[in-house]
């Protein structure tokens, strides 16, 4: 006979509910960005200066890309809080977590200053505008965009 303990079931349900429990309250006017797999393959990394190493790869909904497939880096504009792309016109991330990507330059890897958020990647199929979770769209340490070919 198998014993079922309600407390154990409740704790398991809470634990599963908290996995990647992102919130979207700051940006709500377009579709949510699609999460990719962070560069360590476990869904996140530590925050701060951790970044993917050259030659590593990471996944997203449509497949995977290598670090050398970068299409642009970003620069932070202190005057308005936006991150603007260096090489591709029109790509940006707003202080509210609104992200604009290009058709094939549409996977963005974020490194957060927060140890809890760490490194994450977000994708917009076919490019365009999408909303990042509150935890990702703020407290950004660095970000880079990558070619996906889709």
User: Taking residues 46-69, what's their average pLDDT?
Assistant: 50
- How confident is the model at residue 49, as a pLDDT? 41
Cα–Cα distance between 102 and 106 in angstroms, integer?
6
Look at 121 and 2; give whichever has higher pLDDT. 121
81-137 pLDDT, tens digit each: 999 998 878 899 999 999 999 888 888 989 999 888 888 889 898 889 999 999 998
Q: Which of 17, 145, 13 is nearest to 91 (CA)?
A: 145
pLDDT tops 90 at residue 39: no
Decide if 123 contacts 106 (C-beta within 8 A): yes
- How confident is the model at residue 7, as a pLDDT? 38
Cα–Cα distance between 145 and 124 in angstroms, integer?
11
pLDDT bucket at 150, cuts 50 / 70 / 90: low
Rg (CA), the chain: 17
Look at 96 and 37; give whichever has higher pLDDT. 96
- How confident is the model at residue 12, as a pLDDT? 36
Decide if 132 contacts 36 (C-beta within 8 A): no
């Amino acid at each position: 006979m198998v014993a079922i303990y309600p407390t154990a079931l409740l704790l398991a349900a809470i634990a599963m509910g908290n996995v990647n429990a992102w919130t979207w309250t700051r940006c709500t006017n377009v579709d949510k960005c699609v999460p990719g797999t962070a560069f360590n393959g476990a869904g996140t990394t530590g925050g701060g200066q951790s970044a993917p190493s050259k030659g590593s790869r990471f996944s997203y909904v449509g497949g995977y890309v290598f670090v050398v497939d970068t299409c642009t880096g970003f620069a932070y504009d202190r005057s308005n809080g936006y991150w603007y792309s260096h090489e591709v016109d029109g790509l940006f991330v707003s202080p509210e977590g609104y992200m604009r990507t290009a058709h094939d330059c549409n996977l963005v890897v974020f490194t957060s200053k927060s140890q809890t958020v760490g490194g994450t990647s977000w994708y917009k199929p076919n490019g365009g505008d999408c909303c990042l979770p509150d935890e990702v769209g703020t407290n950004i340490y660095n970000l880079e965009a990558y070619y996906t070919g889709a």
